[in-house]
Amino acid sequence: MPRIELSAPVRVDGRPVSPQSAWLLLRLWVVATGADPHSPGWLRAAEVREHFARARSNPRMLVSRAFADFARWGIRVGWGTQVDRPLSMLSLAGRSRGPFWLAAGEAKRIRITLEGKGATAADVLQWLDLPRPVPADATPLADGPDAAYWHAWGGAKADMQRGRLMVAGGEGALGGYRKAQALAGDAYGAALALVQQAMVWRRAGNADAARAVLAELDAQWRDEQAPEHAWLGAMAAIVSAWCAYADRNILVARQILREASTDGRWALLFQHHPRVRCEASNLLALIHRAEALDDAAAPAERQQSAVRAVAHYRQALALACESELFDAAASTASNLGWSLWLFRRSGLVRGPTRNERPLRWIALADALTQQHGLGGGSWNTIYLLRMVRDGGPPDAHPELAAFRRWPVTSPAQVAREVKPMQFAHRGDTWLAIAGTQLAEVDAGRIQVDALQRANLLLEVAWYEAHQGDLARAAQAATRLRRRLRELMPVDREFFRAALRRLPELGKA
């Protein structure tokens, strides 16, 4: 039966021990005994890293040394989210990533003393420098954010829905959420503003900036502080997974989502919280779509991934509409239409049934945008422009006459197919629509990331060439080539290949 003496120097069974190992063991005891009512049932590795941030020891070495001490003291400690799994079956790989927990019955075996007398839970919390639990009937630490905070937050949300992500002078959604953070009167208000800032950066396509905000959030917020607001941690995990997806690291994105959805703090949120479910379904759909379009995968696996992607998009769309998250609904409908088109071109889905007509989902996205005064981004227009030309001729540098004969679905044909919905684009031709959208982007009235801008330039170049104006097509192609350095390598190759499928444009 291990005995821990808290008075300095801290000792186990009468022998001085590493303070780091003692801290970790006592923190695990607090979790196991319920002395901290806000504990999720285990100790996160992030809390260990934060507590020993100034220590010279590498966190991984610190954990390894602590587990060696636990074994010497005869105390069984587990790691990972599968708390019911026998310790002998836990893989040592990734042990330092946690979370950590005492095996069943271990907390009762540990005897803790202070100057030789039995120590109380309050003594242990004080030794750990943790706050004492607040009684259930106690007054909250703060009354919550005031009116000025919610005014700034509401304005930022409106800017985000209109697509005004970042505007000079600290305006726009990002500036508004930063203003709200500065006005926050408590940790929850600050955390809520930080989650929204990460979402802004995600929408802007800047994964590095989103990660920086998540790091700030992790340093300031613990779901244990307010379990009723644990959805903030779940949303942060989803944004983190999105960052991995944006870096084309599909396996890591899937792993982050899997771990988050089984985390004791968030598991029920991934099952019942509308926004968490919607965001998770959207990202899962993207992951399955990427797997379906992987030419290296087996055909049966690709087809299964395509089916799952469509199912997740449909679920995300239903959740968004049920929760009146119409910006999310519009984005999901757009992605559903685009995915169906991609899958059909790849032979992964049958069709078209009425429910599987890609253009109808693109039209729905446009209609939702107009109905609810939404804005921002050009993906839906890009998808429409790409789909009506069916991608274009596959040959490299086709003759101009043959290129111009390539069939393109007319705006009138599209209008008939998508009834009763209507597109609100300005322009009678696809070239006019593409040109108008690019002009709006160039003027800063529509904010897009580098990938969307590159796609718009490609569409303008394609439709200019299809109209026979090679000079203007060459101008757009030149602008596109100059922007390739802003993109990831895989995207650069996509656009180089797409430009090769245009007629010869001369020295563009």
31 vs 119: CA distance, rounded Å: 16
Lowest mean pLDDT of 176-190, 359-373, 377-391, name the range.
Answer: 176-190
Residue 34 pLDDT: 80
Which residues, including other chains, have CB under 8 Å from residue 454's CB and lie 6 or more apart?
480, 483, 484, 486, 487, 491, 495
What pLDDT is stored for residue 131 in this prediction? 58
> Residue 507: its pLDDT value, please?
47
Structural domain including 17 reads 3-127
pLDDT for position 1: 78
In a domain, 170, yes or no: no
Give the model's pLDDT for residue 425.
75
Query: Is residue 74 a part of any domain in this protein?
Result: yes
User: How big is the chain, counted in residues?
Assistant: 508
In this predicted structure, what is the pLDDT of residue 294? 93
Asked if 430 and 463 touch (Cβ cutoff 8 Å), the reply is: yes
Query: Rounded CA gap, 434 and 261, in Å?
Result: 41
pLDDT score at 333: 96
Residue 51 within any structural domain of the chain:
yes
pLDDT at 400: 96
Q: Pick from 2-6, 88-92, 133-137, 353-357 the range whose average pLDDT is largest.
A: 2-6
Alpha-carbon distance of 91 to 150, in angstroms, equals 46
DSSP 23: H
Q: What is the pLDDT of residues 240-278, one digit of tens each?
A: 999 999 988 999 999 999 999 998 889 999 999 999 999
Cα 131 to Cα 37, 117, 155, 184: the distances in Å are 11, 22, 36, 22
Q: What mean pLDDT is reported for the chain?
A: 87
- The arrangement of strands across the sheet holding 117-118 comes to 15-16, 11-12, 3-5, 111-114, 117-118
Domain assignment of residue 152, yes or no = no
d(CA 398, CA 396): 6
pLDDT at 81 over 80: no
Please report where in the chains the tokens 């923190």 appear, as a residue: 27
For 169-214, the pLDDT digits (tens) are 667 899 899 999 888 878 888 899 999 999 999 888 888 889 888 8
- Asked if residue 228 is part of any domain, the answer here is no
The encoded tokens of residue 447 equal: 């904010």
Could you tell me if residue 319 is inside a domain? Answer: no
Residue 508 has pLDDT above 80, yes or no: no
The predicted pLDDT at position 139 comes to: 44
Reply yes or no on whether the pLDDT at 45 is more than 80: no
Model pLDDT, residue 134: 47
Residue 140 has pLDDT above 60, yes or no: no
pLDDT confidence bin for 498, thresholds 50/70/90: very high
Cα torsion 152, 154, 157, 159: sign: negative
Tens digit of each residue's pLDDT (9 = 90 or more) over 203-250? 888 888 898 888 888 877 776 666 678 888 999 999 999 999 998 899
Of 90, 105, 127, the last residue of a domain is 127
How many structural domains are present in the chain? 2
Q: Show Cβ contacts of residue 433 under 8 Å, excluding neighbours closer than 6 positions.
A: 381, 384, 385, 425, 426, 427
Q: Last residue of some domain: 107, 127, 147?
A: 127
Residues 191 and 286: their CA atoms lie apart, in Å, by: 27
User: Greatest CA span in the chain, whole angstroms?
Assistant: 95
Q: Of 84, 109, 127, which one is at a domain's C-terminal end?
A: 127
**56: in domain:** yes
Is residue 48 pLDDT above 60, yes or no? yes
457 pLDDT band, cuts 50/70/90, is very high
Nearest to 415, CA basis, from 362, 379, 455, 376? 362
Going by pLDDT thresholds of 50, 70 and 90, the confidence category of residue 427 is confident
In a domain, 446, yes or no: yes
pLDDT grade, residue 2 (50/70/90)? Answer: confident
Q: How confident is the model at residue 87 (pLDDT cuts 50, 70, 90)?
A: confident
Strand partners, 3: 111
pTM above 0.85, yes or no: no
Question: Average pLDDT for residues 382-410, to the nearest whole number?
Answer: 95
For the chain, how are helix, strand and coil distributed in percent, rounded to 5?
A: 60, 5, 35
pLDDT value at residue 40: 58
Residues 117 and 164: their CA atoms lie apart, in Å, by 63
Alpha-carbon distances, residue 304 vs 195, 241, 297, 300, 384 (angstroms): 33, 22, 11, 6, 26
More confident position, 148 or 356:
148
Cα-to-chain-centroid distance, residue 241: 5
